[in-house]
Amino acid sequence: MKDIVILGSNGFAKDVLWLLEALNEEDKKWNILGFIDEVSGAEPVAGYGILGNDEWLLQYPHPISAACGLGAPSLRQNVMKKYRGHQIEFPTLVAKRAEVSKHVRFGEGCIVCPGVLIAPNVVLGNFVSLNLGCTLGHDTRLEHFIMVNPGANISGNVQIGSGCEIGTGACIIQGKQLGPNTVVGAGSVIIRDVPGYCTIVGNPGRILER
């Protein structure tokens, strides 16, 4: 078994723990050590303790794997910069109950939760997280450090820039482009291209702030 830790201990980190435990039910590949969290004194999660902060992981004396349980794209980007050049592997984890075409390309450190559907010719960059029950249509491309929250529906031929967060139940129609670091609010419907570095909400989606 390979040693693995989960980065973060809140929200999405608990979903990542569930995913790892489910994968171990079929193939006991992962020895889950616990969580890495910058908040000292954080409570154990589902019987797994907080091992320490980033320094604990950076000083670990042996090769180790880490799964990203950090939801916010900006936080994820900042944390990953610290780990470059160290003996840390970031595996892509795909739930057995996800439906994924064999013609999908994954980057490093992606997380695919149960109920996710990914159509052919989709390309995912590094550290893309697809939460429960979201869908990605054919020929869609997601760049790096993107968070797609539960139940979001992304149609075919959509292009999403790095650092975006797609809210729960949001919908992006076919062929649209989202610039980097865009936040799409929960339940929003995107029917036109969106520039980067903005928040967009509503049906149809409108830019709230930049």
138 tagged catalytic: yes
Residue among 104, 113, 109 at smallest CA distance from 134 = 113
Counting Cβ atoms within 10 Å, is residue 91 exposed (0-12), middle (13-18) or buried (19+)? middle
The CB density around residue 47, as the number of other CB atoms within 10 Å, is 8
Residue among 47, 1, 6, 44 at smallest CA distance from 24 = 1
Among 86, 103, 138, 144, which one carries the catalytic annotation?
138
- Compute the distance between CA of residue 65 and CA of residue 33 in angstroms, rounded to an integer: 10
Q: Which residues carry out catalysis?
A: 138
